Amino acid sequence: MQKQYKTEFQVIASDTIAEKASALHAGESLKASFLCGLVEMNGSAVYLSDTRKSRHQARVTLQYKMTVRSEHLTMSHLGQQVTYPAVFDQGKATHVVTAVLYGAQAFFVFDQEVSSSESVEEIQGKMKLTIEKTAKISEEDGESKMEDKEIENTDKITCTFYGDFGLENNPVTYEDAVKVYSTLPKLLGDNGEKAVPVTVWLYPLIKQDSRSTQLIREIGVRLISDVEAVMEHLTELDVWCNDMMKDRTATTFPEIKRKVQQFQALCNQYSTDRLASDSYQNSYPVSVEEEQRKGPWWTF
């Protein structure tokens, strides 16, 4: 075991799948599994599935990451003294975990409704500056106190929390988030005993024993990009539908609102059924040339 204490933060103004996956350091294979509904997200990873609900919504996310220690296997552990030799014959594993980095991370998702006379980009820019200032002060002083003017400027901001820290109550306002943020380092315990794995390193079993199952080829990056593009488009359609149903025309004419609701339901059905099904069908290994020849697999 080796102590590896480090804290860092970043402010994220984008709400795309690619940006959120990058913040979580999720590789292409893990991102594909998420997009196809093959994995269940917990803790801070739930942030990946959080999206805006309206085009009139300014959003900025504060990510906090902390590491406390790392544990790893030595070369003697990877030698011939294998505890479970049956894994080589069963063919159920391709890799073994050789190192684990422990810590925790949290995402504070800040949202503010924007009126028709305001600019989403302008409000989002002001939010980003305020959040960066708050985070820097907290990093330097260990706490952050808001002035009355700052509280007044942030009273319209709501907060959604996703994290690996055990909180008694999740923050719902900006002021709540500031108080929680300054206490995060203490929540892992004096010796980091409440830390969780944040990064793991894998070693191919085929290098240990030729009988092991090996990974022949990853799913093509182009295919994953296609799936991601579809999901982004469906999310955008969902946002448009939400705004259209709140529009004066839809509230005046119920039939229009009903049609929009029906269209939204069909998009959601496509997302949960058709997309996952097609992803399964195309998950077999193909070469780059085959992917280029096949072209896009998705249609609306």
245 belongs to a structural domain: yes
- Flag whether 212 is in a domain: no
Look at residue 203 and tell me if it is in a domain. yes
Q: How many domains are contained in the chain?
A: 2
65, 167: one domain: yes
Virtual CA dihedral for 289, 295, 297, 300, nearest 10 degrees?
170
Contacts with 139 (C-beta within 8 Å, 6 or more apart), sequence order = 7, 9
Instruction: Say if residue 135 is in the same domain as residue 250.
Output: no
- Taking residues 102-126, report their average pLDDT: 94
Give the C-alpha separation, 184 to 64, whole Å: 9
User: Is residue 75 predicted with pLDDT exceeding 80?
Assistant: no
**Residue 126 lies inside a defined structural domain of this protein:** yes
Query: Cβ(27)–Cβ(218) under 8 Å?
Result: no
- Of residues 162 and 220, which shows the higher confidence score? 162
Domain-located, residue 18: yes
Identify whether residues 241 and 197 lie together within a single domain: no
**Taking 70 as the threshold, does the pLDDT of residue 31 lie above it?**
yes
Asked whether residue 68 is assigned to any structural domain, the reply reads yes
pLDDT of 123 = 94
| Domain finish residue from 179, 207, 235 | 207
Is the CB of residue 276 less than 8 Å from the CB of residue 37? yes
DSSP state of 116: T
> Does one domain contain both 247 and 185?
no
Residue 194 sits in the same domain as residue 103 = yes
Alpha carbon 202 to chain centroid distance?
21
Expressed as residue numbers, the domain containing 110 is 2-207
pLDDT for position 286: 46
Confidence of residue 285 (pLDDT cuts 50, 70, 90): very low
Q: Quote the mean pLDDT of the chain.
A: 83
Same domain, 59 and 83: yes
* Predicted TM-score of the model (pTM): 0.82
Q: Are residues 54 and 192 in the same domain?
A: yes
d(CA 78, CA 29): 26
Helix (H) or strand (E) holding 168: none
235: which 2 tokens?
Answer: 């999310």
Helices (H), 163-220: 174-183
244 in the same domain as 118: no
Instruction: Say yes or no: 142 and 7 in one domain.
Output: yes
Q: Is 72 in the same domain as 138?
A: yes
Q: Under 8 Å CB-to-CB from 97, ≥6 apart: which residues? A: 200, 201, 202, 203
Alpha-carbon span 143 to 136, nearest angstrom: 10
Higher-confidence position of 29 and 55 = 55
- My answer on whether 170 and 265 are in the same domain is no
The more confident residue out of 137 and 265 is 265
